[in-house]
Amino acid sequence: MKVIAVNAIAGLIIHEYVWYSTRRFRMNMPKVDKYFPVHYRYDAKNWSKLEHMIGSMTILIPKVLLFTGLFCSIIVWTKIILLGADETKPLYRFRRWLFNQMMKVHCSMAMIFVFWTHVEHKMVSHKEVDYYREYLGNERAQKLIKEEKIQPQAEREFENFGKGRASMAVANHIGYIECISLFTGPASLTFAPKAALRNWFLIGSVLIANGSFFVERGNDRAVDELIKNVS
């Protein structure tokens, strides 16, 4: 009974703190939402404090403990994978494959048992996405850009002569759950975090093993170097 009581009280305290911290999303502020649409939560109007409170007082703490355990397991496995590796260079071949598989297993477990979410990834053909012409241009334009005969901006001057191919997808994120879900997919995932994260306790090792490109925010030269390393 004591364990159940402590679990309920701790969950209630966390719930009240988070509910207060997210009050901005529940406010009706059209002017602010207009200028900051990326921060607007369309589902906030459906939030029920009572429903969240019940979950917080019952399953929140066990889910937090499970997530913490998975995170600690990731750290341990990452340290093992990095044994003998040069942490100033990206991981290659077996080490990188082993890290990716380890992250896929842990993140899949987190999505299912912590977030109660099933993630599916659908493989599509180039034809189904129109060969990415909207973003990469047509085949002739891509060839000329690769040969440095024209600037990328000039590709719009050409008509669609052929099929393009994509080699990389770049995306931003507004939370952490997107990163976790992407690790469960077939793609090779890496990040471009701020340089200070390299030295963060525990997290730095995971980012290094992931082959992250650390960037000094606000430094234009660092951005140029990042683009050069990625390309």
**Per-residue 3-state assignment (H helix, E strand, C coil) for the chain:** CHHHHHHHHHHHHHHHHHHHHCHHHHCCCHHHHHHCHHHCCCCHHHCCHHHHHHHHHHHHHHHHHHHHHHHHHHHHHHHHHCCCCCCCCCCCHHHHHHHHHHHHHHHHHHHHHHCCCCCCCCCCCCCCCHHHHHHHCCHHHHHHHHCCCCCHHHHHHCCCCCCCCCCCCCCCCCCCHHHHHHHCCCCCCCCCCEHHHHHCCCHHHHHHHCCCCCECCCCHHHHHHHHHHHC
Q: What is the pLDDT of residue 149?
A: 62
Q: What is the pLDDT of residue 155?
A: 47
- Between helix 2-21 and helix 61-81 the angle, nearest 10°, is 80
Render pLDDT for 111-156 as a digit per residue (tens, 0 to 9).
999 988 888 888 887 778 776 777 666 767 767 766 766 665 554 5
pLDDT at 208 over 70: yes
Q: What is the pLDDT of residue 133?
A: 73
Task: For residues 162-169, give the mean pLDDT.
Answer: 59
Tell me which of 13 and 37 has the higher pLDDT: 13
Tell me which of 74 and 23 has the higher pLDDT: 74
Quick one: what percent of the chain has pLDDT higher than 70? Answer: 85
Give residue limits of the domains in the chain.
2-124+167-189, 130-165
Render pLDDT for 175-195 as a digit per residue (tens, 0 to 9).
778 888 888 888 778 888 888
Q: Report the chain's mean pLDDT, rounded to a whole number.
A: 81
Task: For residues 82-106, give the mean pLDDT.
Answer: 85
Q: What is the pLDDT of residue 111?
A: 92
Decide if 171 contacts 165 (C-beta within 8 A). no
